[in-house]
Amino acid sequence: MDSSSALIVVTGGSQGIGRAVVERFLQAGYAVATCARSAPDLAQLTADVGVGASARLHTLPADLSHWADCQRFANFVQHLGLPLAALVNNAGAFAPGRLQDEPADGSRLREMLASNLLGAYDVTRALLPTFIAQRQGHIFTICSTASLMAYPNGGSYGIAKFALLGFTKTLREELKSQGVRVTAVLPGATLTRSWEGVGQAPERFIRPEDVAEAVFSAFSLSSQAVVEEIVIRPQLGDLL
């Protein structure tokens, strides 16, 4: 699709990996629609990208752990009236801890599933008819290396990330004959707010911009090729 007339949708785009993805596609000339829970953070993003890019940036405060907000954001995207070039399911939440220490009522698991799996599922399902009707487009899910292996203190977060990768694999199989590409992105420790206060040097982490560049590179391939999974780790390996 021509970047001047196509839309990139990024959930959780006000900070971290999501923000880096938003900025990378704006830099390439695409219109971008994004959401985040914090309206001030979205306003700051709009101010930071500059006047030229901000004209192509469309933002909506929304908490995608709630079904109604997922539908509201999908409607916002559709009413922009632009062809959908890509959806990047990035919104999520991290809460460390052991399963055995989580609340007995299962609330931590439900919280992690809502933030990391169901939001991606609901937004994707709402926009999927458009992608299928177009017979083109690209759906990314920002998973984690926690989607591949269990970590100490991963708890329900790890369960949700395993499920998100399963969701992505299922999408890939269902959509391969309908012209829609699907990619799982699995970064290790990335320099975002989730790692604040851990006492590690910034050089020990992946830069969000590197993840964004990997997404953009996979997106930029011809329609005859798809990168199914992108695994990115810090050069010195995982932080456990």
Burial class of residue 191 (count of CB atoms within 10 Å of its CB; 0-12, 13-18, 19+): buried
**Domain assignment of residue 90, yes or no:** yes
**Domain assignment of residue 240, yes or no:** no
* Tally of domains within the chain: 1
**Domain assignment of residue 31, yes or no:** yes
Per-residue pLDDT of the chain (240 residues; tens, 9 = 90+): 777 689 999 999 999 999 999 999 999 999 999 999 999 999 999 999 998 899 999 999 999 999 999 999 999 999 999 999 999 999 999 999 999 999 999 999 999 999 999 999 999 999 999 999 999 999 999 999 999 999 888 999 999 999 999 999 999 999 999 999 999 999 998 877 766 667 778 788 899 999 999 999 999 999 999 999 999 999 988 876
**Domain assignment of residue 107, yes or no:** yes
**Domain assignment of residue 238, yes or no:** no
- pTM, rounded to two decimals: 0.94
**Domain assignment of residue 158, yes or no:** yes
**Domain assignment of residue 239, yes or no:** no
Q: Which DSSP helix (H) or strand (E) runs through 216?
A: helix 208-219
Identify the domain containing residue 118 by its residue range: 3-232
* Residue 218's CATH number: 3.40.50.720
The dihedrals phi and psi of 71, each to the nearest 5 degrees, come to -65, -40
Q: DSSP string covering 12-67, please?
A: S-SSHHHHHHHHHHHHTT-EEEEEES-HHHHHHHHHHH-HHHHTTEEEEE--TTSH
**Domain assignment of residue 216, yes or no:** yes
- pLDDT per residue over 14-59, tens digit each? 999 999 999 999 999 999 999 999 999 999 999 999 988 999 999 9
